[in-house]
Every structure is written in structure tokens, then in C-alpha cells.
Amino acid sequence: MNDSNVPIADGNANNVQAALLVGGLGTRLRSVLPSVPKPLASVGGKPFLELLVLQLRNQNIRTLIMCTGHLGEQIENEFGNGSALGVTIAYSQEPQPLGTAGALSLASSRLINSRDFILMNGDSFLEVDFDRLLGFHRQHGGIATLAIRRVESAARFGTVEMGPNSRVSAFLEKTGRDAPGLINGGVYVFSRSIFDWIQPGPSSLEKDVLPRILDQGVYALEQKGMFIDIGTPADYARAQKLYQELTAKMTAFNR
């Protein structure tokens, strides 16, 4: 959502690092994945997380940090150093559950090669042009940029409220109402100064950090393409049906 209608320059994603949050407990998927971490859920015969790695690689983002936790050794055993997929992967393993902000903070020493970086949830896919998202972030000069997506039913998501100039004005808790809304798509660009706003110990980006930094400049760019979250058995089943379309979206750029 770019209210100013100013053209967005490409941000040049080459050499930008990406961190992936893959340490969640996956409690809602335990009934179908009792002993596998959620990002390794099989979609079309491949780990869902592999599809996200390919999405990044195909847009020339090849230096990745996986923030692991629950059953993290399975993820490390599956991907190793990333060479088989044409990327370089390092790992930041939680000693205990730290939440999304705590896990990111733990990985901060590995995110040192660029002024800003991409962060992605490891259990959802959003069709994104990363060059464009980075360009938008740098053009607006904020501390954080969210990729957001309008969905027909925001019942199980919190929603994002927008103000002028694509600036986020509020984050609203999930209401359970079956109504359309703008949701956080689980893809971010952060400036390195985000680490100044994360307190030591367990904390949540969505609940503890992002609402606190609204005055520092949090912006959002609306995406129109495919979005899928595999966090529930129903959506995991839907991902199986959409596998071919999903992989086509991930390889469409192939830069």
C-alpha cells in the first residue's frame, strides 16, 4: 500500500542477508506432525522450508540464518550448510523458547553484513518481490517494513491499521470475526537499529516490539500475490493442493 503513488526503486537484494524464524513449537499441527518441526512439514514431497529457501535464492538472496529451536537439529540435518540448494546457511539455536523477538536478537551477531536485512516466518509463504520491498523500506527510511496482505477472513490473524504515507498506525489483536482485513504476511525488512528495541529474554516481535516502535517509523507494503500459512491442519491440507502453483510462484523470478 503506497499511498503516495511514488514509484518504488529496486532495493538490490544482492548481498542482503535473510533470517528465517523456524523455532516455533507448532502446537496446532501436532495432530498431523507429532515429531517433525513445522517448517519441515512435507508439501509436495519436499519440506515447506525448502520452498522458502528457493524463493530467496531465486531472487539472489543467498546468505541465510535459520533461527532454530524446537527440534532444530532436524532442520540442521536436513539443510546442512545450504550448499546443496546454492545458498549459505548458518544456525542460531535457542537454548530455550525465546519468542520471535528473542530468537531474532540471539541471531544478531550473525546479521552483520548489511545495513538492513530480511526476516521471514518459516511456516508461511507470501509472494514478494524482495528488491521492491527493500527499495520501499529504504525510500521510507523507517526502522521496519512489513509485507502485508488483504485476506477475505482475518478471523485467526491480528490485523494492521494503516495511516497516511503507508505508515502503520496500529496493530489490532485477532477478533475471531470472519471479516476481511489487512494482515501481517510474515515477511519483514528491518534496519539494524531494531536490535536496540529488543529487551533481553523471551519476547514477541508482534506483541512486544512492533507496537512499541510505531513512533520510530513502521511502514507496510501491500502484496497482491499468493499467501498461505501452514499453521493449522486445514491450511496445511490446502498447501498440499496448491503445491504446483506454490512452486511456480517461488521460481517465477529466478534472477
d(CA 133, CA 181): 21
The cell for 166 is 503507508
The cell for 76 is 540442521
- List the one residue out of 45, 95, 86 whose CA is nearest residue 63: 86
d(CA 99, CA 112): 21
Q: What pLDDT score was predicted for residue 243?
A: 72
Residue with more model confidence, 156 or 117: 117
pLDDT tens profile 160-193: 999 999 999 999 987 777 889 999 999 999 999 9
Whether this model's pTM surpasses 0.85: yes
- List the one residue out of 118, 112, 140 whose CA is nearest residue 131: 118
Lowest mean per-residue pLDDT among 6-10, 14-18, 37-41, 185-189: 6-10
The set of residues, in sequence order, having a beta carbon less than 8 Å from that of 215 and lying 6+ positions away, is none
Total Cβ atoms within 10 A of residue 34: 8
Domains of the chain from N-terminus onward: 17-250 (3.90.550.10)
d(CA 70, CA 93): 9
- List the one residue out of 105, 72, 107 whose CA is nearest residue 208: 105
Three-state SS sequence of 40-89? HCEECCEEHHHHHHHHHHCCCCCEEEEEECCCHHHHHHHHCCCHHHCCEE
- Whether 227 and 127 have beta carbons less than 8 Å apart is answered as yes
d(CA 139, CA 118): 16
Q: Considering the chain, what is the average pLDDT of its residues?
A: 88
* Alpha carbon distances (Å) from 57 to 107, 110, 176, 238: 20, 19, 36, 25
Alpha carbon distance, N-terminus to C-terminus of the chain = 25
Q: Assign 3 a pLDDT band (cuts: 50, 70, 90).
A: very low
Considering only the C-alpha atoms of the chain, give the largest distance between any 2 of them, rounded to a whole number of Å. Answer: 48
d(CA 178, CA 203): 28
Q: What pLDDT score was predicted for residue 178?
A: 83
**Does residue 65 register a pLDDT over 50?**
yes
pLDDT tens profile 102-153: 999 999 999 987 789 999 999 899 999 999 999 999 999 999 999 999 999 8
**Does residue 38 register a pLDDT over 90?**
no
- Within its chain, how far is the Cα of 15 from the centroid? 18
